[in-house]
Amino acid sequence: MCLFCKIIKKEIPANIILEDDDFIAFHDINPKAPVHILAIPKKHVNSFNEVSSSTMSGMTNFIQKVTNEVKIQESGYRIITNIGSDGGQEVGHLHFHILGGAKLKWGHLSDADPKGHF
Ligand code: AMP
């Protein structure tokens, strides 16, 4: 069973913010911003590559509830999902990083030539 499935089953503790039948949100153990929350579907999905549109529909509503709950909707925030090796995905269970609580930086994400791919 994957790490996040164990959190869903409460076999591993997590600092949970919001939970319903289909989704759960908890604080990232290694925060990269003052607010750093992970929102995940309870149904195991490896990554965004495999998620259904119906799960994403529910995820949209759930993330909106989470950002309202932690009061970052007005100040703003960023949603990131890392996918696969180049995306830097470390945990193989779809998760959305919700980052905020301060003005976030935005810069080059790779040392490779940004115009090199196309
Ligand atoms: P990613 O690199 O996109 O796969 O992100 C995985 C995230 O999971 C990282 O930000 C980790 O800090 C976070 N993480 C790993 N283990 C735990 C845990 N037990 N509880 C909360 N967050 C975790």
Q: What is the pLDDT of residue 113?
A: 84
Ligand 1: centre distance to CA 30 (Å): 7
pTM of the model: 0.97
Q: Which residues does a 6 A CB cutoff place in the pocket of ligand 1? A: 3, 12, 14, 28-30, 38, 82, 88-91
Catalytic residues: 95
Ligand 1: centre distance to CA 38 (Å): 8
- Residue 43: left if φ>0, alpha if ψ -120 to 50, beta else—which one? beta
Q: What is the pLDDT of residue 101?
A: 98
Q: What is the pLDDT of residue 116?
A: 76
Q: What is the pLDDT of residue 115?
A: 81
Domain spans in the chain, listed from the N-terminal domain onward: 3-100
What topology does CATH give the domain 3-100?
A: HIT family, subunit A (3.30.428)
Q: What is the pLDDT of residue 114?
A: 80
Q: What is the pLDDT of residue 44?
A: 98
Smallest CA-to-CA distance from 56 within 69, 68, 71, 45 is with 45
- Intervals of the chain under pLDDT 50: none
Q: What is the pLDDT of residue 38?
A: 98
